[in-house]
């Protein structure tokens, strides 16, 4: 693995400057001690101007081919461009010896993700995938309650990302039905839902899915249900929708000693959109009115939400590069997510349950 100088910042190049880069990756990198946004790739003039204004010391280039000419001035490549670019740009970055962070989903297929892992192993460089919603405050709260055994033996986990977006943006690549674009909610919000379920409850032995195109003009799935049977015997039931005029609970955890129910979305993305400084006092703190409820009928109490911690992801990347410890999300974990997505696609077509005897990770 390339040696990162101990006395200098880790110089990150970010490929793309859409919402993922401008509202997530770049602010989180810039706020992480020991890291700096050193370069941004965008061919959009207005976005280039926005980069110059916010990160005046960053090199702005219109293509990844031009980025490689500055390889000696870089320590990390962050791929926040459309999904179809994840594999080719990741392979190119590792070919010139640079570690890589890939936004989710890591690829459009398990095969593509395996190519990235194999390339990282050959090059001896780090690769990680930005499954940032492991650090949602409610997900961290749920993990703590599980460690404490607060609901006893868990038998069902329900998780939802539901939105009301009745109009289809026909120009958006996320609405494309080209398989290379990995569009639709199963890849988008489904990646987060599946990763959280695998992180909390472990590997999956069976997958059942129902996938729909609900909105007029939709070309890819915009309403999704996925049921996972974990080898731990927990049943995860996951929903993602762009056509939900009334959202259900974000989490509903049922056990033999009680339940935990939580409504509302994590506050960190809203904070990033409003240019709050990640990691500062009060970051990720949720108002008491949004806390989840724990207990049994007649004996319920509010549970303070653990502050969200998106900054921990890039702090983990920094430590992985400097100290050669495992990254906060491994490529093998991301491949396991892709295996579930592919099983869900097969289930949705066949109408049955797909067995996963072993994930390719």
For 257-267, write each residue's pLDDT tens digit: 999 999 999 99
User: Would you say domain 10-130 falls under CATH 3.30.565.10?
Assistant: no
Residues in Cβ contact with 275 at an 8 Å cutoff, skipping those fewer than 6 apart: 27
pLDDT tens per residue, range 222-281: 999 999 999 999 999 999 999 999 999 999 999 999 999 999 999 999 999 887 789 889
**Predicted TM-score of the model (pTM):** 0.95
Return the pLDDT at 275: 79
Residue spans in the chain of domains classed CATH 3.30.360.10:
133-309+340-355
133-309+340-355: what CATH class?
alpha beta
Confidence band for 5, pLDDT divided at 50, 70 and 90: low
Query: With pLDDT > 90 as the criterion, what percentage of the chain qualifies?
Result: 94
Quote the tokens at residue 335: 């491949």
**Per-residue confidence band for 361, with pLDDT thresholds at 50, 70 and 90:** low
- The 59-61 sheet, strands edge to edge: 59-61, 35-41, 10-15, 76-79, 100-103, 127-130
Residue whose C-alpha is closest to residue 170's, from 223, 217, 237: 217
Q: Per-residue pLDDT for 89 more than 60?
A: yes
Where does CATH 3.40.50.720 sit in the chain? Answer: 10-130
151-180 tens-digit pLDDT: 999 999 999 999 999 999 988 999 999 999
Instruction: Report the sign of the C-alpha dihedral through residues 151, 153, 155, 157, in that order.
Output: positive
In degrees and rounded to multiples of 5, residue 156 shows phi and psi of -145, 140
Please state, rounded to an integer, the average pLDDT across all residues of the chain. 95
**Mean per-residue pLDDT, 29-38:** 97
């Amino acid at each position: 693995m390339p040696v990162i100088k101990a006395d200098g910042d880790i110089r990150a190049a970010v490929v793309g400057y859409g919402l993922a880069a401008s509202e997530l990756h770049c602010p989180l990198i810039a706020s992480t001690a020991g890291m700096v946004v050193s370069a941004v790739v965008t061919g959009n003039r207005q976005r280039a101007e926005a980069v110059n204004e916010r990160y005046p010391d960053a090199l702005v280039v219109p293509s990844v081919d031009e980025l490689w000419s500055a390889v000696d001035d870089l320590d990390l490549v962050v791929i926040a461009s459309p999904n179809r670019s994840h594999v080719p740009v990741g392979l190119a970055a590792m070919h010139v010896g640079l570690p890589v962070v890939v936004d989710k989903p890591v690829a459009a297929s398990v095969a593509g993700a395996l190519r990235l892992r194999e390339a990282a192993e050959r090059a001896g460089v780090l690769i990680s995938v930005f499954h940032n919603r492991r650090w949602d405050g409610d997900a961290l709260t749920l993990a703590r309650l599980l460690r404490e055994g607060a609901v006893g033996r868990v038998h069902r986990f329900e998780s939802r990302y539901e939105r009301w977006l009745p109009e289809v943006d026909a120009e958006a690549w996320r609405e494309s039905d080209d398989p290379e674009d990995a569009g639709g909610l199963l890849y988008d919000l489904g990646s987060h839902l599946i990763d959280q379920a695998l992180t909390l409850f472990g590997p999956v032995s069976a997958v059942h899915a129902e996938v729909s195109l609900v909105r007029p003009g939709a070309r890819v799935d915009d309403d999704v249900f996925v049921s996972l049977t974990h080898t731990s015997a927990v049943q995860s039931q996951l929903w993602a929708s762009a056509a939900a005029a009334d959202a259900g609970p974000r989490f509903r955890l049922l056990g033999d000693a009680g339940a935990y129910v939580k409504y509302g979305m994590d506050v960190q993305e809203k904070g990033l959109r409003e240019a709050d400084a990640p990691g500062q006092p009060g970051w990720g703190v949720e108002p008491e009115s949004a806390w989840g409820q724990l207990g049994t009928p007649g004996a319920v109490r509010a549970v303070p939400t653990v502050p969200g911690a998106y900054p921990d992801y890039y702090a983990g990347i920094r430590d992985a590069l400097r100290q050669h410890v495992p990254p906060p999300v491994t490529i093998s974990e991301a491949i396991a997510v892709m295996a579930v997505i592919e099983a869900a696609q097969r289930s949705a077509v066949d109408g049955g349950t797909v067995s996963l005897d072993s994930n390719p990770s």
